[in-house]
C-alpha cells in the first residue's frame, strides 16, 4: 500500500520488472505533475520535478484509478504522452 492506495497485481508486476520502488511511486504522487484523462489520474515526474537526489525518477509515470484507491500501473518514459 502506497499513500493509502492499493497496488494492483499488474502494477506490482511492472514495478518489479522495472525496479520501481513503493517510495518512487509515493514521490511521483506527491511531487509529479497530475493529469486527469480517460477516467484515471496520471502522475508524471519530469526533469523539472526532480532534484539531483531523485534524478533516476525522471520519466516515471504512475496511473491511479479515478476513485484514487488503486495504483493501476507504473512505467518509465521520459516523454509524457500528454
Q: Has residue 66 got a pLDDT over 70?
A: yes
Band of residue 81 on the pLDDT scale cut at 50, 70, 90: low
**For position 1, what pLDDT does the model report?**
74
pLDDT tens digit string along 4-45?
899 999 999 999 999 999 999 999 999 999 999 988 999 999
Digit-coded pLDDT (tens) for 44-60: 999 999 988 889 999 99
Signed CA dihedral, 10, 15, 21, 23: sign only: negative
What's the whole-model pTM score? Answer: 0.88
Amino acid at each position: 500500500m502506497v499513500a493509502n492506495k492499493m497496488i494492483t497485481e499488474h502494477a506490482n508486476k511492472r514495478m518489479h520488472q522495472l525496479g520501481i520502488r513503493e517510495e518512487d511511486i509515493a514521490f511521483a504522487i506527491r511531487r509529479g505533475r497530475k493529469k486527469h484523462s480517460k477516467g484515471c489520474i496520471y502522475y508524471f515526474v519530469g526533469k523539472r520535478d526532480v532534484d539531483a537526489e531523485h534524478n533516476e525518477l525522471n520519466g516515471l509515470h504512475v496511473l491511479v484509478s479515478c476513485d484514487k484507491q488503486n495504483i493501476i500501473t507504473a512505467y518509465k518514459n521520459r516523454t509524457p504522452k500528454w
